[in-house]
Each structure stands twice: as C-alpha cells, then as structure tokens.
Chains A and B, each alone.
Chain A
Amino acid sequence: MYDPLLYLGFFVIYTILILIFGRHGFDRSENIKDYFIARRSLGLWTSISTFCATWFSAISMLGFTGLIYSNGYSSMLFTTVVWFLGAGIMVLAIDRLYDYGAVTVPEFFRIRYESTTIQVISGFVIFISFIVYLVFQIQGFGLVIGKLLNIPYTVGLFLVFLFIIYTTFGGLYSVARTDVLNFVLIMIGTVVAAVLVLDAIGGIRIMHAMVSKRFFLTNEHQQTSPFSPLPEGGWSIVSFISSFFAMTLGISANPQYVIRIFSAKNKKTAYQMISISIILISIAYVALAIVGVGGKLLVPVGSVPHHDEIFPFMMNEFITSPLKGLILISIVAATVSTANSQLLILASSVVYDIYQSFRKNKVSDRALLFHTRWLIVVIATLALLIALTPLQDLIRYTGHVWGMIAATFFFPLFGGLYFPEVHRRNAIFSIIGGFVTYIISLILIPEDFSRYVHPAVPSVIISGILFFIKVRR
C-alpha cells in the first residue's frame, strides 16, 4: 500500500481510540486535586502505563536511536543508565514524600518549608522549564509526522495540539487512561521496529557480526567497537559524570515523574510502579538500540542530515511491511503521552502554585476547574505559536530542561526529605542560586565543552552549597 495512505489509516484509528479513551476523565474530577492527581487513586498498571508512557517521548525515541546509530551501544551508558539511576534515586523519596499528601512539587516545598514564597518561585521555575519542554515535544511531533505523512510541519503541530488539549481536558484521569493506550502502542511499536530491522538484516547474530567488523564513529571517520562502554574517540568518564548531574539528578526531581508518586493509590504501588516500569522501559530501549545499530548497516553514511532522523528515514526507505504504521503510531503515542503530562504540570504550576497563592479569597472548586481548563487551552496555544519556528537537534535542548530541574529542585526536594533542620531560606537560595548559575553556565560554557562539563554541574554544586551552607555554620 502507498505509505502515506497506510500511515493515514493507522493515524485515523489512533485518533478514534484517543477520543474514546480521553473521555474517561471528564466526569471524574470534582475538584482541582482530583484533576491533577486523580484523587490518589491510580492502580498499579495504570501507574506503570502513565509512568512509562510519560518517560518516552518522540524526542527521546528518535534521539536515542540516533545516538545508538552514531556511537553504538556505548551510548546506553550515557543515556539509559543515567536515566535509570535517576529513577533509582526517586525510589528513595517515595516513603517520605508520599506522606506529605501534596498535589504538586511546589506544594510539597510549601508544606515542608512552611513558605508560600517557595511554592510561587518553584511554580515559576516549572513554568519556564516546562513551556520550553512542551514546545520541543510539539516541534518533535511536527517534524516526524511531517516527514512520515508528507504533510506540512504546521499541520503536524496542529494535530498534536488537538490531541493534547483533548486528553488534558479530563485531567490526570484522562491522561492516565490514554497513557495505557499510548504505552501499549509504544511497546508494540518499538518491538515491531526491532523485529522488522532484524528481519531486513537477517537476525541479531548477523547484525552484531557485521557491525563489529565495520563500525565508524560518523563524525570522526574512525573505526571503533560498538560494544565498548567508553569507545576511543567517543564518550569519556567525564561525560558520564556530566550526564549524571544533568540527567540523573534532573529525572529524580522531575515533577512529571514525581507527580506519578503522588497519584499512586499507596506507597507500595509507587514502589512497584518504578521497579516494574524500569524493566518494561529497558525492553523498549533494547528494541530501539537494535533499530539504531541496524541503521548503521542499512543506512549509508550521510543519508540523513541529522542522526535524530535515522528512525523515520529507515521506516520510509528500508521497511516495507504494513506494520510500520504501528511504528509511526508509537512515535505519535510517545509525543502525546509526554506532552499532555507536561501540559498538566504547567497548568498545575500556574493555577495551583501561583494563582492560588496570590488569591486572598478562596475560589470554588468548580471555578478553579473551569479556569484550569481554559488555561490549558491558552498554554497549549502559546506553545503551538512558539513551536511554529522549528529547531534541530532537539535532544540537546531537552537535556537543558532536565539540567535546569536538577539545578533547582534536586536539593530542596531530597534534602528537604532527609535533612529536617534545613530552613526555608536555604531552600529558596538553593532554587534561585541553581537557576541563576544554570543560565550563566549556559552562556559561558562553550558548546563543544558542554559535553564534558554540562551547565548542570556547576549549578547543582552551587545549589547544594546554598542549601547546606547555613547548617554547616
């Protein structure tokens, strides 16, 4: 079948399913807490689905495949390993964090440090970081869908805009329900992609045998081993430490995952959610890694201008099975699931953390829900307008968002849980200090050098010093 028609067919089926699944939460939210954390009622498999689906985005799927294509399996040490370490650190927070009964991370700060100021400041930090993050997601979707369906970039943006507005309308109930669908599609899509690539090459043994004979770092024109954790001319241990500061600490304090702890029905569910999710996510990453390495054999060097595009390029050029429609939908599902979670976090930071803190009179639940839904439309429209100018090399920019979260939230969050003597002033200084240092580092550290010293490194250190400095005195 003609490819765009095949993709269009799958896309229409996905749209119908999203419309049905997204309807789930419309009736369920009675108040703003229901809307943002689903009344702390999410069961194990729903929590796992929403955690995993939020974890995968189009940017991470394409970016990860591109990295494996460029550097071989060694990229996994600097991506999946540091990401999973972040999830591991998050486990340390569950027991204490859950007891606070907060709805948002800034609200946890307010309760822990008894300060509305810190809630407002952290609400602003989330807004600034996540609006950028959301724009990247929308742009990633526009680029992929534009290439695969051969439609204008703007139309692609508008499609994701419609999806995320609709799925966010019902709050976390709707987001979680559509995430069940999205997660199933992501898993099927990635595994199908790996199977089709292996089928095109002749099996995993042949692939590894072939790739070990001729694997070049595309930038260096230098042969290396795709299996070496630290290949010559590739990544180094310094880069690993740098990634740890930006990615590991960024993920562990990322509100988009922390909120999944809040929404789990109990602590046990939260623990199981993270543990089982890591196993399932690993399967998807292995599948994507196979696609990346397979790309090295199937795609001639120089066929794509950016390595992020290797996955869609392979789908168009080397995979003939109609099942590739599922792969496209898995990328769409990854974008929708991440973007709607981010939109929800953005809305919670504005309505719950900033707007409510400034209002003297209590607003009724009905009015607050109404305002939140309208705000979601406004924020999504704003992100859509910003996204109209496309950016390349998206995964690099998302790294900065995580770095920013690490620099501002890591110490106030984990330090707040484990060091009861730390005062609110330290937490405020830590957030502001981390934020300012990150911006300065971003400007001052040259782009080539940032691979070794990510802006997150100095900013997390400064944030930590500011957090503890008074205690030491």
Chain B
Amino acid sequence: MMKKRRTIERKIMISFLIVVLIPCLAVGVSAYWTGYKTYKDERFNEAENRLNNVVTYIKLVEQHYLQGELAEEDAKSLAKKWVLQSDSAILIEDPHVYEKTHESIAPWWVSFLDKQNGKYKRNEETNEMKEQWVVIYHIKKWDWVIVIPFSFSYLSQPLIDIQKNTLLVMILAAIIAVELTIILSHQLSRPLKNLAAFCQQLGKGDVRVKTETEFPLSRKDEIGVLAHAIQEMLDNLEEKKQLEKKMERIERLASMGQMASGIAHEIRNPLAGIKTTTQVISSRLKLDERNLALFQGITSEIDRVDRIITNLMNLSRPREPNARLISAYDVVDQILILLEKENKDKPITFQNRISKEATFYIDLDHFKQIIINLTLNAINAMDVGGTVDFSSCNEGGIFIRDEGRGISIEDIKKIYDPFYTTSSSGSGLGLTMVHQLVLQNKGEIEIHSEEGMGTIFRLYFPTKEGE
C-alpha cells in the first residue's frame, strides 16, 4: 500500500477550506461587529437619555428655586432624591474634594470631572474587551457634577444573546462547509491516489489483477484518459517483453542447435559402425530366440538414437519454410485419420471442429509436423484416454485441447527447452521442434494448462503473405 501522504488531497482540502472558511468567518465577524456597534450606540444613547433625564429634572427644580417657589435646600433635596432614584447616575456635590482624592482610591473618571458637558470620555486604560466610558454634566449654579459611567465589551451577555443566532448560523455554515470540503477533496483525489498507488506497485513489479477502484478505466474524465494511457503503455511493455522472450528462445535454440549438431556429427559415424557391426555379428552367430531378441533390441535402440540425432540435425539446420496458403481443417483432418489408425492402445477420440474457412500462410510440412507433435504430446498426456479437440479461436488461430494430466506452472516455463521431458519414453525434442517451426513460420504459440485439468495449445499463423 502506498504510503498515505495525501499530498494532493491536502492541497485541495486546504485551498477549499480557506475559500469556504474565510467568507464564513468574514460574514460572521462582520455581522457580530455590526451587532456590537449597534449595541455600543445603544449604550451611548441610553447613557445620554439618562443624563438628559436627570439634568432636565434638576434644571426644572432649579428653575422653581430661582422663581422662589422652592427653598434652595428643598430644591437640592428633591434633585438629589431624583438622581439617587435614577439608575447608574452619580451626583458629586463637591468636585474639588474628589479631585484631591488619592489616585489609588479615586474612581477612574475623576480626571474628566472638569471637562465639557455632555462629552463621552473613555477610560484609556481599558481595551476593546471591556470598554469603560463616562458622560459628565456640570450644574454650575450649585457646583454639582452628574456622572454616568457605563461599560460594555465584545462578550457582554446581552450582546451574545442578540448575536447567538448569528454565531450559530456561522458555526453551522462552517461545519457544513468543512464537511463538504473534506468529503469532496477525498472524492476528487481518491482516483488519483489509487492510480498512483497502482503505478507504485507496478514499479515494484507487482502486476496483479486490477480492480476498477484501483484502475478506473470506465471513467470518462482525465483520470480515465490517464488510466487508458497507462493500460496502453502496459500492453506495449507486455508485447515488448514477449518479443524479448521470443528472441531469447531463438538465440538459445540456435546455440543449443549448434552444439547438438556438433555432438550429433561426432556420434552418428561411430553409431553407424556399431549398427553395422551388430548386424554382422548377429548374422554370423547362431543365436537362439532369446539372444536374437537382445540383438534386435540393440539395433532398435541404435535406430532410436539415430532418430534423435536426425531431429537434432534438423533443429540445428532448419529447412527454410516454403510458405503457401493451406486449409487448417483439411491438413488436421488428414493427420487425424493417420493417427487414429496408429493409435489403438488407449480409447482416444479426435474432434476436428476447426472452421473449414480457416486458412494459414505456412509451410505445409512444417504445419503437419507441428500438428503431429502436439497431437502425440496430447495422446501421451492422457493416461486413460480421452478427447483431443481441435477448434478455431475467435482471433484467427486454432486450439488443441486435451484432457490429460496437465502441466505444472514450474514445468510450463521449461517445456520448449530441448531434452526437457516428463515422460520416460520421450526425447524432449518434440515441443522444442514445434516451437522452432512456429517461430520460423512467423506464428505464435501459447499454452494454458492446469494440473489434472488438461492442456490447451493455441496456435496463430499469418493468414496471408507478408502478414
């Protein structure tokens, strides 16, 4: 499994998150800020109204006093009572005493007592988290000062109560945006990640069966195009690999053929001498039946060795093919008639289901040799008999299918090697020869076999000259 760095996914996700979260936050913060400003204005208006309320009343009382309707003490008493009743207003009767109060115990607004009436003053030591303000009014006649201090912050409870829905909408929008971003970035990057993981496995030589998730060939977007391109590249690589394998086999056969030819040449002459001598001795001696059989055995073994040598010679010096158009059905039919007559040991059935239209551009003798060798191979593989089936395949070749013991995966790799055989009676040259003849005639041979299930050979040859 590819190491999960999720680089692309992260890039997509972070970009999307920035894109979606910034507007969410911006809208939320601006809505909250607007709410805060409105709340702040309301607090100022509220303080101003309270001050106006108090001042208006005091002025009214003062007017009554000036008109002589009230004694000064009564007027002041009424005014004080009114200020005390009003919420948050402070009455300072002697501002000079306040101004002399020690800094540590004096209220923060003392320094503003001599300032202009009705002006809002802020405690400079406070920050935006909790702002403190004051509004002041001087009653000159009595040397009184009315002070209304007030404070507010970003996190004031009333403000949060008002803005709670805004916050909730912002949080909800952010959750939806983030969830969709995560899901979308995952969905978008996943095919690419799968493809990358698949390519990484390919690089390590792990070419196993691909699932649609790993290798999305059905997609119609760029990822599908990429998958198709990789598929094409893989096919080309496979073709090249097959070609290299074929070349390697040809070279190996050629060098082995040369070696075999040398050995055969050296063996054949003494072998001929041995055979002649054996025949002469046999005719001179008066042999009983048992000894005569032994001598005949020697002669037939010499003949077998000679046949092997002939095959080896053919292998090393193959005859150039004389290709012409032949009917696969007819040739196979003729061979099967011969083989049926000769094969009486086991209950073997031959089926020729090759299309009568199937033609190959091939050397006739070579084709016959190929079919004979493969059929004999099939007969040998079926210990208790069975059917050897010849049929056409869709791609233009022919199948030769038997019901024999099959070949193991390990053995399949070696079946075309000279002298490789699993049979005690075989020479190990039959399939080597088949392979060589197929290559000589510009054909291809494939094998599919399962132990206990039988073997299928598939042969392809050109169907016209120059193909």
Contacts and interface: CB of A to CB of B under 8 A. Distances in A.
Given A4-B164, A5-B160, A8-B167, A365 B172 contact: no
A2 B179 contact: no
A158 B176 CA distance: 10
A6 B4 CA distance: 37
Contact of B157 (A2, A23, A26): A2
B400 to A, nearest CB: 34
B172 A26 contact: no
A258 B190 CA distance: 32
A12 B190 contact: no
Contacts, number: 52
Given A4-B160, A4-B164, A27-B4, A15 B171 contact: yes
Q: Give the interface SS of chain A, mostly helix, strand, loop or mixed.
A: helix
Contacts of B176: 162
A366 B168 CA distance: 37
B69 to A, nearest CB: 50
B213 A30 contact: yes
A378 interface: no
B40 interface: no
B114 to A, nearest CB: 38
B168 A5 contact: no
A150 interface: yes
Contacts of A158: 172
Contacts of B183: 26, 166, 169
A155 B179 contact: no
A27 to B, nearest CB: 7
Interface string B191-217: 001000000000000000001110000
B8 interface: no
B179 A150 contact: no
A389 interface: no
Contacts of A162: 172, 175-176, 179
A151 interface: yes
A171 B78 CA distance: 76
A15 B173 CA distance: 13
Contacts of A27: 4, 186, 190, 193
B188 interface: no
A166 B213 CA distance: 22
Contacts of B193: 27
Given A27-B186, A162-B179, A365-B213, A151 B164 contact: yes
Contact of A12 (B155, B171, B213): B171
Interface string B169-184: 0011001101100110
B4, B179, B182, B212: residue with the most chain A Cβ atoms closer than 10 Å: B179
Interface residues of B, number: 22
A149 B178 CA distance: 22
A151 B171 contact: no
Contacts of A155: 168, 172
Contacts of B172: 155, 158-159, 162
B182 A23 contact: yes
Contacts of B178: 19
B32 to A, nearest CB: 12
Interface string A265-287: 00000000000000000000000
B120 to A, nearest CB: 26
A52 to B, nearest CB: 26
Contacts of B179: 19, 162, 165-166
Interface in A6-28: 8, 11-12, 15, 19, 23, 26-27
Interface string B144-171: 0000000000010100100011011001
B212 A19 contact: no
A364 interface: yes
Interface string B267-308: 000000000000000000000000000000000000000000
Contact of A2 (B155, B167, B211, B212): B155
B243 to A, nearest CB: 35
Interface string A150-167: 110001001100100110
Contacts of A23: 182, 186
Contacts of A165: 179
B168 A151 contact: yes
B428 to A, nearest CB: 46
Given A12-B171, A151-B168, 13 more contacts: A2-B157, A4-B160, A5-B160, A8-B167, A23-B186, A26-B183, A26-B186, A27-B193, A151-B164, A155-B172, A162-B175, A166-B183, A364-B212
Interface of A: 2, 4-5, 8, 11-12, 15, 19, 23, 26-27, 30, 149-151, 155, 158-159, 162, 165-166, 169, 364-366
The 5 residue pairs across chains A and B that have the minimum distance between CB atoms: A166-B179, A26-B186, A2-B157, A366-B213, A162-B175
7 contacts: A8-B167, A8-B171, A19-B178, A19-B182, A27-B186, A151-B164, A155-B168
